[in-house]
């Protein structure tokens, strides 16, 4: 793996670590957020989404990891009470894609309409 890919992977892992650390606080204040990794290689795009399913109930734990390839989405992993498990699994997939010459970028997403209360 070349230096640029290693640096990209380290940045992605740092972002995900912050997501796990903030999950409990964020779950108590805003419903339905999730993290996404968009991975591209040429014209190919893969999307890995980590959903915190308990966030709307003021709890943490329940989660799922969705993978979108060629416009088809499937759930690869889920947990009833282990959000870090979902993050770990998603990161292992992001790592594999990065090692296969994909460029992956993280992004935190809000549930649609979550910011309307602040307006």
Burial of residue 108 (CB within 10 Å: 0-12, 13-18, 19+) is middle
Give the separation between CA 80 and CA 84, rounded to whole angstroms.
11
Residue that is written with structure tokens 């709890």 in the block: 59
What's the pLDDT score for residue 109? 79
What's the pLDDT score for residue 71? 95
What global pTM score does this model have? Answer: 0.67
**pLDDT mean for each 10 residues of the chain (119 residues):** 54 51 39 81 96 73 94 96 94 97 91 50
What's the pLDDT score for residue 54? 78
What's the pLDDT score for residue 27? 37
Best CA proximity match to 68, nearest among 93, 96, 100, 92: 93
């Amino acid at each position: 793996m070349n230096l640029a890919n290693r640096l990209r992977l380290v940045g992605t892992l740092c972002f995900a670590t912050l997501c796990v650390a903030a999950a409990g606080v964020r779950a108590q204040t805003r419903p339905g957020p999730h993290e996404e990794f968009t991975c591209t290689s040429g014209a190919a795009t893969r999307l890995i989404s980590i959903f915190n399913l308990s966030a709307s109930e003021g709890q943490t734990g329940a989660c799922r990891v969705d993978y979108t390839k060629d416009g088809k989405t499937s759930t690869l992993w889920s947990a009833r009470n282990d959000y870090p498990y979902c993050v770990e699994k998603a990161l292992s997939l992001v790592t594999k894609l990065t090692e296969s010459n994909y460029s992956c970028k993280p992004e935190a997403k809000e549930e649609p309409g979550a910011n309307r209360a602040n307006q």
